[in-house]
Structure 1
Amino acid sequence: MSGTIYVRPVGLAENPQTFDGATIRLGNSLVWCHLLAIETIEAGRLVARQIVPVDGFADALTTLPGDQADRARTQFANLSRQHPPLALGDRMLRFDQPQVMGILNVTPDSFSDGGRFTDDPAGAADAGFAMLTAGASLIDIGGESTRPDAPVVWEGDEIARVVPAIKTLAHSGAILSVDTRKAAVMEAALQAGAHIVNDVSALLFDSRAIDVVRQAGCPVVLMHAPSQGQNPHTGAGYGNVVTDVFDWLEARIAAVIAGGIARDRILIDPGIGFGKSLADNLALINALPLFHALGQPILFGASRKRMIGALSNEAAVDARLGGSITLALSAIGSGAQIVRVHDVPETVQAARVWRGLRDAALTMPGLD
């Protein structure tokens, strides 16, 4: 049968003991899987599906043509790939437990908190310190809004916005990422003390970006957006949003590795809210476990986004805390290693309670 194979975890478990160890651990997270769907997609449509237990996966591949079986084996190996911790400055970023990334916008026009820290680097740094104190593992600092139809910011202005906050926060030993798609901003931010590049264009907006990241040897987050032009929200149109985004990220990972960036420095983000309808976003969130088959740590960001308002009587941006935490916990429950949020104390508390439940499940004695 023609078509493209995808190996999707469909039976998630809170511990491996429940299924006598016949599980795989998704991306070194605290989520296990005991059932897999081997799905064939052709022209955006599901044309075949096998639901198999993990310990029956190898036998199920005997029914597939050689190229499809090879792709399925690669994805199976990727699902349980161990992601070593990243040594970043004086700190270590681990992927064996969920981490909270705090959002620090130093912009006048970001959709949620734009304008709070315009021309106030000290205030921005204080907000970053507050997030760290509340339990954020890293801070993502951005100087350009990527909301729909936001104007492109001149790189000099963007540098002037982000560098003072980065320099101040870097003295604390915090792990910092810079949210930018411009090579010059990446260079300035990394020189000021940032450790990670978080690029909504997956290093495609600026032709120099991949060289900057390669030469720095820093980790990079590759996010999916339907356009890598000035407005990342334009040009959307999907046959199957889940597999289209998966395929795009798969190709981008391969291209970035071919460009000289090490695989263990790459994280991925499915780009919730970027050129995607409510139905598209919900489909991606429900299918998030599939993205472990790309073999990279997953960063998930849906904090305060429009989809929450669409599902809750058009709640205003500042009234979306409950929805934001729900989506963050959904992602954590799918094995996402990092959740990117505005509301750090509340999300950290929710993640710690989730972790407590998971730890209790892992130490629960089995039946004799």
Structure 2
Amino acid sequence: MTRYYRPIVRFGDVPTSHALSLAGGACWFDTVAVHERGCEVQTVPAGDITADIQDTLTRPRASIAGMTMSGPRIMGILNVTPDSFSDGGQFNAPDRALAHAQAMQTAGADIIDVGGESTRPGAKQVEIAEEIERTVPVIKAIRAHSDVPISIDTRKSQVGAAALDAGATLVNDVAAFTFDPELAKVAAKVGAPVCVMHAQGAPETMQDDPCYDDVLLDVYDFLSERIEAAVAAGIPREQIVVDPGIGFGKTLAHNLTLLRGIAIFHALGCPILLGASRKRFIGTIGGGAAASDRVSGSVAVALNAARQGVQILRVHDILATKQALDLEWAIGGAETL
């Protein structure tokens, strides 16, 4: 039976004499939770796990799109769509999109994520030509003014190819190359890093009745399989980022289980990305009917993830998130981000 290893991550304090550094960053662990399907979770000292698992959990992650992974990096969301759940219609013109991208950089964004197709629950698929028309001029405009890393949030190979040609540096696929497997080959051809995300079902229907045997382990297995598919397409393993896909075919309980156990994905040996900013579950738990009222809750979720060693935080509210991270890292005695 497969065993899954989740480091019990700590940040700050004084590491114990037998503590291990997590993924080369400021977080550490001296205990590991061992999951098996159908069994109670067991905890063991970190020194008792095998050398290969220790190496996977502790090995520093390679830089992604020029960003070191030794501390949390902020991915600023730039939706150039008319219908995204939080900011649809606000930045779907190149001049407004460029201004917002520049504002996010000033506030502390390490990378800008440009998306031309809403994948909110119930969203309809956008035609390829329209998605290219929305995203490519914005990417070109950003690139003309800055060398900031840019990711293209797309499921489609033609859109990915056009975006990379325009200056994008990372492919962020919410379908993990299951919608269009050619997208992996497009990224591999130019040596672009990728992010593979878990989603159950298509955006049109994913929230109808999501169900899992064990959401934490099911998502882990899916991401493990998609890493292997990406490697088979020619993408180096060290250039793959994983995302558990909060809100993509998940109930509130599923989301909370994934957030509590997100450190399990360190055992995949890849940087972890979390995209939970302003999502509905934050308003359900903490209040905030409008997405713009969920800033504080979004920062709380991002900060908790960073304390579990998550390397990339995909957020709308750059300054609030960076301020919280800077203070947490300063109080914890870690190096400045």
CA contact (8 A) 1:148 1:231 kept: yes
| 3-state SS, counterpart of residue 101 of structure 1 | strand
Match of 1:205 in 2: 179
Match of 2:16 in 1: 19
Q: Classify 1:317/1:207 alpha carbon distance in 2 versus 1 (closer, same or farther; 3 Å).
A: same
- Which residues in structure 2 correspond to 1:271-350 (within 5 Å)? 271-350=245-324
Match of 2:3 in 1: 5
| 3-state SS, counterpart of residue 32 of structure 2 | strand
| 3-state SS, counterpart of residue 340 of structure 1 | strand
Shift of residue 18 of structure 1? 2.9
Where does the alignment leave 5 or more consecutive residues of structure 2 unmatched? none
More divergent stretch after superposition (311-320 vs 261-270): 311-320
CA contact (8 A) 2:9 2:263 kept: no
Q: Does 2:31 correspond to 1:35?
A: yes
Shift of residue 318 of structure 1? 1.1
Separation of aligned partners in 2, 1:325 and 1:140: 18
Separation of aligned partners in 2, 1:273 and 1:160: 27
Q: Classify 1:256/1:277 alpha carbon distance in 2 versus 1 (closer, same or farther; 3 Å).
A: same
Question: What is the letter of the counterpart of residue 134 of structure 2?
Answer: R
Q: Does 2:56 correspond to 1:83?
A: no
2:81 to 86, 107, 114: 107
| 3-state SS, counterpart of residue 286 of structure 2 | coil
Match of 2:43 in 1: 51
Separation of aligned partners in 1, 2:102 and 2:35: 45
CA contact (8 A) 1:205 1:229 kept: no
CA contact (8 A) 2:123 2:203 kept: no
1:139 to 109, 112, 117: 112
Match of 1:366 in 2: none
Q: Classify 1:254/1:302 alpha carbon distance in 2 versus 1 (closer, same or farther; 3 Å).
A: same
Q: Classify 1:202/1:121 alpha carbon distance in 2 versus 1 (closer, same or farther; 3 Å).
A: same
CA deviation digits over 1:49-71, x for unaligned, max 9? 4322222335xxxxxxxxxxxxx
CA deviation digits over 1:199-230, x for unaligned, max 9? 00001111321211111210000000012586
CA contact (8 A) 1:13 1:34 kept: no
CA contact (8 A) 1:12 1:35 kept: no
Separation of aligned partners in 2, 1:226 and 1:342: 24
Runs of 4 or more above 4 Å deviation = 228-235
CA contact (8 A) 1:7 1:290 kept: yes
Shift of residue 187 of structure 1? 0.6
Q: Classify 1:84/1:151 alpha carbon distance in 2 versus 1 (closer, same or farther; 3 Å).
A: same
Q: Does 2:123 correspond to 1:150?
A: yes
Question: What is the letter of the counterpart of residue 6 of structure 1?
Answer: Y
Q: Percent identity?
A: 43
CA contact (8 A) 2:11 2:307 kept: no
Match of 1:63 in 2: none
Separation of aligned partners in 2, 1:339 and 1:29: 15
Q: Does 2:100 correspond to 1:127?
A: yes
Match of 1:163 in 2: 136
More divergent stretch after superposition (216-225 vs 251-260): 251-260
Separation of aligned partners in 1, 2:57 and 2:217: 16
Shift of residue 265 of structure 1? 1.2
Question: What is the letter of the counterpart of residue 279 of structure 2?
Answer: K
CA contact (8 A) 2:72 2:310 kept: yes
Shift of residue 252 of structure 1? 1.0
CA contact (8 A) 1:106 1:142 kept: yes
How many residue pairs get aligned? The number is 335
Shift of residue 233 of structure 1? 4.9
Shift of residue 114 of structure 1? 0.2
Separation of aligned partners in 1, 2:206 and 2:235: 23
Separation of aligned partners in 2, 1:286 and 1:278: 12
Where does the alignment leave 5 or more consecutive residues of structure 1 unmatched? 59-72, 364-368
CA deviation digits over 1:285-333, x for unaligned, max 9? 0001111001000010100000011102453211001100000001101
Separation of aligned partners in 1, 2:327 and 2:203: 40
